[in-house]
């Protein structure tokens, strides 16, 4: 379905052309003076220079050409050369009827779908998720859902940290505690147990203990480094332990991500890229890109246009060990082989921008990706506490993500239980749904690249620009629709009628923006634009609701039309919150 702005712009282009002016000047935008008009076109100002004519004269001719437009109720030329436009109520109502007839509310799928691989999540195995993992998961999930909604093939990869010294530390500590395990017998040739020799809670305690010991005991750290080397060079027992660590960790990670309504198509880790490293490194050498510098193998990635220094991308350390760079480059090789994506998007902390500049340039220079494969860095800012510093627990530690969610669930439960309208079980379930909206919307309503304050009190409020406010609006819509149905009425097959009040037209204009908004939000990888739209639509509905007695109306046809408009707005809002990764309860 053609977007509303495109329809209007097509009409204005035709008017410009009919007056002898280039259609490129006919750009239509939402008015920045809503007290004067709904839409505007400033093209006459630019056209005046080309045609050496007063801009007001050009605007006047164009306005006259639009006098009988089926789209515009009025088009006025005003100084110094603006076109101020208002849309016809009948046209707008017909447009919304078209959206109602479309299961995607007028969203037209992209004509050329792309395969987009999304790298987000990035947890380390054997460690619990903490608040630092929140933004990557929430933003990445939303971008994935937006891409799917507009028609692309989106593949989400958690890309776990499951390689390197942390694995050696776990193996070393486990050997100290249980040296009798067969995994540590070098001559053992039998099958290894299918049951892991630890639980997730034990595993999460083993790693920090081992990490602490390695900082105090040089011999312990050396043993851990040797265990890491043995693991990476294929020692059977250690590889079997790695399989256990991954299985136990992934089971727990899936449960925790599920609580965030986040899911991944691929549960790959750094270890999956290891088989691709030798051939990749050899090719870089053979092609003359990789060379030895101070003992390490590097590839130059600086460019003449750089205004800041961009160091070489290190491929192997002087002892031949791989680094994060090596693993990320090998992961690109793996992804190109398995999925051949048109684009790979990395949702990571914005402080890693230089690192990914090095990796992307190295991948392009050495031919790991094709020239038309897009590599995109979506860097996010820091989630801070009330003091403006990275979010911590009260005693200064890093807060577990499960603890944060439990705290907010409890706050929402208390608010809902205070109303005393639900059973405990329903209140608890509703609290979880509303709490998730508070967390996700609180994060996503900020531009991804910006730092923000995680303000629990504000995010959980039922008023203002918050997730609970949006859900309350949807629940209000559902309540009206249920009452209408319980009265024995049905609006099926009825049409949305032309608006008769300012608030009704304002709501209809917001609804009509949906398909253009969602396409633009994905194009810019900007979930905050979906949030801003949702808030505008909710405000427009609530104003209409307070000014209109929908269920008390005596005009049956008009009432049915308003119910249809309500159904459309509810559907759009539920679609938007689903794209953001949360849902609405039946009542609050």
- Note the pLDDT tens digit of each residue in 285-339: 999 999 999 999 999 999 999 999 999 999 999 888 888 999 999 999 999 999 9
In 263-352, DSSP assigns E strands to: 290-293, 296-299, 313-316, 343-349
pLDDT at 374: 98
275, pLDDT greater than 70: yes
At which residue do the structure tokens 């007695």 appear?
Answer: 549
pLDDT of amino acid 395: 66
Helix axes 89-100, 502-512, angle to 10 degrees: 50
**Residue spans of alpha helices (H) in 233-323:** 236-259, 270-273, 277-286
CA distance 364 to 225: 32
- Residue 468 pLDDT > 70: yes
Q: How confident is the model at residue 392 (pLDDT cuts 50, 70, 90)?
A: confident
- The answer to whether 379 and 349 have CB atoms below 8 angstroms apart is yes
- Residue 380, helix vs strand vs coil: strand
Range with lowest mean pLDDT among 13-27, 224-238, 435-449: 224-238
pTM to 2 decimal places: 0.94
The pLDDT, as a whole number, for residue 232 is: 85
- pLDDT score of 233: 87
Answer yes or no: is pLDDT of 397 > 80.
Answer: no
Q: Output the pLDDT for position 13.
A: 98
Report whether pLDDT(580) > 70.
yes
pLDDT at 192 exceeding the cut of 80:
yes
Q: How many CB atoms lie within 10 A of CB 447?
A: 15
Handedness of CA 472, 477, 483, 485 (dihedral sign): negative
CB-facing half-sphere around the CA of 40: CA atoms within 13 A? 18
Average pLDDT for 139-151: 98
393/18 Cα distance (integer angstroms)? 66
| DSSP-H helix ranges across 339-397 | 353-365
Q: pLDDT digits over 215-245, tens only?
A: 999 999 999 999 999 998 889 999 999 999 9
Q: What is the pLDDT of residue 359?
A: 98
CA distance 576 to 434: 15
Across the range 145-156, mean pLDDT stands at: 98
d(CA 63, CA 65): 5
Indicate whether 358 pLDDT > 70. yes
pLDDT of 487 reads: 95
First to last CA, the chain: 35
Q: What is the mean pLDDT of residues 544-549?
A: 96
Is the pLDDT confidence value at 473 over 70?
yes
- Could you tell me the pLDDT band of residue 396, with boundaries at 50, 70 and 90? low
CA of 546: how far to CAs of 302, 541, 542, 573, in Å? 60, 9, 6, 19
Q: What is the pLDDT of residue 394?
A: 65
Given a contact cutoff of 8 angstroms between Cβ atoms, the answer to whether 565 and 419 are in contact is: no
Q: Is the peptide bond before 80 cis (omega within 30 degrees of 0)?
A: yes
% pLDDT > 70, the chain: 99
- Locate 465 and state its tokens: 């620009």
Would you say 396 and 385 are in contact if contact means Cβ atoms under 8 Å apart? no
pLDDT-based confidence at residue 411 (cuts at 50, 70, 90): very high
For range 550-576, the mean pLDDT: 96
Question: What DSSP string runs through 511-579?
Answer: HHTHHHHHHHHHHTT-HHHHHHHHHHHHHHHHHHHHH--TTT-S-HHHHHHHHHHHHHHHHHHHHHHHH
Give the pLDDT of residue 141.
98
Most confident of 30-39, 232-241, 372-381: 372-381
Tokens representing 348? 């990571």
Mean pLDDT, rounded, for 382-396: 81
């Amino acid at each position: 379905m053609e977007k509303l702005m495109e329809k209007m712009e097509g009409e204005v282009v035709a008017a410009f052309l009919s007056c002898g002016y280039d259609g490129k000047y006919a750009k239509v935008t939402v008015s920045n003076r809503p007290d004067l008009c709904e839409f505007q076109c400033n093209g006459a100002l630019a056209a005046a220079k080309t045609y050496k004519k007063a801009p007001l004269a050009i605007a006047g001719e164009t306005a006259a050409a639009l006098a009988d437009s089926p789209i515009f109720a009025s088009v006025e030329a005003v100084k110094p050369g603006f076109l101020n436009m208002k849309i016809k109520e009948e046209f707008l109502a017909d447009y919304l009827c078209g959206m109602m007839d479309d299961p995607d509310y007028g969203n037209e799928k992209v004509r050329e779908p792309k395969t987009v691989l999304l790298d987000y999540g990035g947890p380390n195995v054997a460690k619990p998720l903490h608040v630092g993992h929140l933004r990557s998961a929430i933003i990445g999930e939303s971008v994935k859902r937006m891409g799917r909604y507009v028609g692309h093939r989106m593949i989400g990869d958690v890309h776990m940290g499951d390689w390197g010294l942390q694995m050696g530390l776990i193996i070393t500590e486990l050997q100290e505690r249980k040296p009798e395990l067969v995994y540590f017998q070098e001559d053992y040739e039998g099958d290894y147990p299918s049951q892991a020799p630890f639980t997730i809670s034990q595993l999460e305690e083993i790693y920090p203990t081992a990490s602490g010991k390695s900082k105090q005991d040089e011999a312990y750290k050396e043993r851990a480094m040797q265990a890491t080397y043995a693991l990476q060079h294929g020692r059977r027992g250690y590889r079997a332990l790695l399989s256990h660590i991954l299985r136990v960790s992934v089971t727990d990670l899936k449960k925790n991500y599920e609580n965030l309504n986040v899911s991944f198509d691929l549960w790959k880790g750094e270890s999956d890229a290891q088989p691709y490293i030798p051939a990749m490194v050899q090719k870089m050498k053979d092609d003359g890109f990789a060379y030895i510098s101070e003992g390490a193998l590097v590839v130059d990635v600086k460019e003449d246009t750089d205004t800041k220094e961009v160091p070489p991308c290190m491929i192997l350390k002087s002892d031949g060990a791989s680094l994060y760079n090596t693993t990320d480059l090998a992961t690109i090789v793996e992804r190109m082989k398995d999925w051949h994506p048109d684009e790979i998007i990395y949702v990571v902390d914005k402080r890693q921008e230089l690192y990914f500049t090095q990796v992307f340039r190295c991948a392009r220079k050495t031919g790991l990706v094709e020239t038309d494969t897009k590599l995109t860095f979506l860097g996010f800012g820091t989630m801070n506490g009330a003091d403006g510093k990275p979010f911590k627990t009260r005693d200064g530690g890093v807060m577990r993500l499960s603890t944060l969610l439990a705290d907010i669930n409890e706050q929402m439960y208390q608010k809902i239980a205070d109303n005393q309208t639900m059973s405990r079980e329903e209140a608890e379930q509703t609290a979880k749904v509303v709490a998730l909206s508070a967390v996700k919307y609180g994060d996503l309503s900020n531009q991804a690249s910006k730092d923000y304050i995680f303000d629990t009190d504000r995010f959980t409020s039922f008023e203002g620009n918050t997730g609970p406010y949006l859900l309350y609006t949807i629940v209000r819509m559902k309540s009206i629709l249920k009452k209408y149905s319980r009265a024995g009425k049905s609006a099926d097959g009825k049409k949305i009628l032309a608006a008769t009040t300012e608030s009704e037209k304002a709501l209809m204009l917001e609804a009509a923006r949906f398909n253009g908004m969602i396409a633009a939000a994905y194009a810019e990888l900007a979930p905050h634009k979906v949030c801003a739209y949702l808030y505008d639509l909710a405000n427009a509905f609530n104003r209409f609701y307070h000014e209109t007695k929908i269920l008390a109306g005596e005009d049956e046809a008009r009432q049915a039309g308003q119910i249809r408009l309500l159904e459309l707005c509810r559907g759009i809002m539920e679609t938007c919150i689903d794209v953001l990764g949360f849902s609405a309860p039946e009542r609050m």
